[in-house]
Structure 1
């Protein structure tokens, strides 16, 4: 991305897409429709969260984005794009960490589908902090 795009206004008749990404020190997310950004989320992680696995950081990025844009996403189907392949099968996995047990119920309240996007193609959610 070479220039900052102009934010679009949401159209509640179209499908929302949340694109997420996590790095060693932060998370980024973009809420968009038809390829046009509506809102951005960029956050530096506290030390406790920096120690999480990549899977848990991507999961955390998804949860923070859903919490931030709850008013846009509640009561409608939306899509989530991530560059972490195993998150695509989140609901089919065994809960093995306290982190998953605590946060997965929040995802059960919303209607979403997760798709995998290769890391090299996931540049929209890349945050300038990291």
Structure 2
């Protein structure tokens, strides 16, 4: 991960208006597939985007901090434990081949 980009995300201030929240959620939605339980974490933030509904509270701040933390830490890559059962999902197309180990 690029240290400069991590620093920018880590120093992102809490939004004071719905427009700032839109910008932050736009960034996080782009990376949602890399954030486990993204939709569950973002639940307290999405109602704040409604018209005249922006009211920042502790629950919203906790969700904001959790998403910032998820964006600024990378996934841990390691070798599989061959003593345990695991699944390999594969997907192929005319342009390439991909696999995910669960």
- TM value normalised by structure 2: 0.30
Determine which structure has greater relative contact order: mean sequence separation of CA pairs < 8 Å that are 6+ residues apart, divided by chain length: 1
Q: Please identify which structure carries the higher strand content.
A: 1
- TM value normalised by structure 1: 0.26
